Structure 1
């Protein structure tokens, strides 16, 4: 499940970087993840009144938060994919559940 999602992000990212002449070396994946965390933090600060709203409505700010969260997820999956990290196995080890398994009531 996570591998397939990471592959989908990779396909989209590959198109974007090729169109913009961006070279993704080993550091790029971590640096881009850090950049996206900064953007998520900015969106959170705006939404919670800790940053300038810059004319954005509450609805816009909520959408920005969702968009930046999606970026963080995507870049985290790209980082894991690039570094051959088995996230499903790591989640099972650290969080004690299997991703994609049905959650009992």
Structure 2
């Protein structure tokens, strides 16, 4: 595998990782953007703070894991498997750890 092919594979992997991370993150952040019931829980900081961090993490994690695996293992197919596994674990970690803040409903 030559350097141009590896570079293109890295770009595709970064784009796919960023897209997958954002698509998994978006339904959880919907409450913060729309505000929930009567718009009481609106927090638009998820768009300018969390969204770029999620997209950047989703793009960098599989690329870095794949590059490390390629360096250590020397086999492109093994590096691709490691990169996909790293993306899967990263998305799992994101969905299990990150939950947008929701203020309690006023009951008075």
TM-score, normalised via structure 2 length:
0.32
TM-score, normalised via structure 1 length:
0.33
Q: Which protein, 1 or 2, shows the higher relative CO under an 8 Å CA cutoff with sep ≥ 6?
A: 1
Which of the pair is proportionally richer in helix? 2
Q: Which has the larger radius of gyration?
A: 2
